[in-house]
Structure 1
C-alpha cells in the first residue's frame, strides 16, 4: 500500500500559484487527500474537525501569522513543514514554528517530497533544510 494515497495533508498557502504548484507536486506523488486553505481562520476551522497526517504551511497567510496554529499542531503531535520565503533566523515568530521542518521557497519538488515523506513516517521534528534556495526547475 502506498504511503501517499492513505494520508491527508492540510496545505496552508495564500498565493494561488504556489498552492496550485504544491498541490500538483503532492497529487503527482499519489496524495489524494489534500485540503488547501489561504487563511489562519480557515485552517483553524478545518483543524477543529480534522486530524491531518501532515500540514504544509506558509508562515504568513491572508489574515496574519500562523504561529498559533503551529503551536497547536505541536501540542497535537501533528507534523508540519514550514514552506516559506522567510529565513528562519530572521523571522520574529520563528520559535512558534520550531517543531516543524523549515523549507525556504523556492524549493525543488524532490526536496519537498522527501521532507513530506520523512515527516509522515517520523512524525514531529525540528530541522532546517538548507538546499532549498536552489533555483526552481520549471515543469
Structure 2
C-alpha cells in the first residue's frame, strides 16, 4: 500500500528493497550489513528490553551482549508486508516476522513470531535507512 502516485510508488519499491536487504542481513547474522541499514540516530523498542534503545550504538552494544550469551540468528522470514509512504523521504513498513534463534547451547533454536513496525527515512545519499524499529510478540 502506498500513498500517492508514481513518485511514492518508486519510494515504496525502494523501501521494500531496503527492507528485504535488512531481513536478509539479519537472517544471515551478517552484523556489518545489518547495522549499516540503520541510521546512527535510530531508536529501537524490543519486548526483551526494559527501555528504548536510544541509538544504533546502544543496539550494537546490546547485540554484542546477546552474542556473548550464545545468541545467533539462524533464519528469518517475513510476510504480510505493507508500506506506506507518509511524506517525502519518510515511510512506514509493517510486517509479520518469523525468526529462528539459537540461544546458548540450543543448536536447533527457537522460533519467535512477532509483528514489527519499521520507519524508514531517505538519507541525503538516497539510501532508505531505518530510523525506528518496534517489535512486539504476535498475539
TM-score past 0.5 threshold? no
Question: Structure 1 or 2: larger helix share?
Answer: 1
Between structure 1 and structure 2, the one with the greater Rg is: 2
Compute the TM-score of the two structures, normalised by the length of structure 2.
Answer: 0.29
TM-score, normalised relative to structure 1: 0.29
Of structures 1 and 2, the one scoring higher in RCO (CA 8 A, sep 6+) is 2
The structure with the largest strand share of the pair is 2
